[in-house]
Structure 1
């Protein structure tokens, strides 16, 4: 298990996080391994959040004029 998760894409990081959650919930891992898994899971969670935030920033909503023609784009804001 490599500590560098920065090269993982969102789907890979999410899959790895799901595997960690499953292993922790099953109680298969001894305490020391559970702690290491938890720390890696926290790193993966942060990476997934960062990737989602970056994707959100790239999403743009098309602005339509009165005639229905696109007039430009505005940044997506789900808030």
Structure 2
């Protein structure tokens, strides 16, 4: 398990660590106190993954298209 702040992790890094956490918890290979800490870390990692997915969905939803329907870039999320 990494000591890296969850808020700084990419989606891929957070997902990879979350999978490790889940595996350890499922195997029951850690003492109770460590299990609690792992569960708390896992909850933060899950939240980070959800936030990064939401960001990606919003970016895809804001793709701009030219007259032929070809993506030309993205609009700012706050554009009205």
SS in 1 for 2:6: coil
Gaps of 5+ in 1: none
Q: How does 1:1-79 map to 2 (within 5 A)?
A: 1-2=2-3, 4-60=5-61, 69-70=68-69
Gaps of 5+ in 2: 76-80
Compute the TM-score of the two structures, normalised by the length of structure 2: 0.75
Q: How many residues align?
A: 71
In structure 1, the residue matched to 2:78 is: none
Whichever structure has more strand as a proportion of its residues is 1
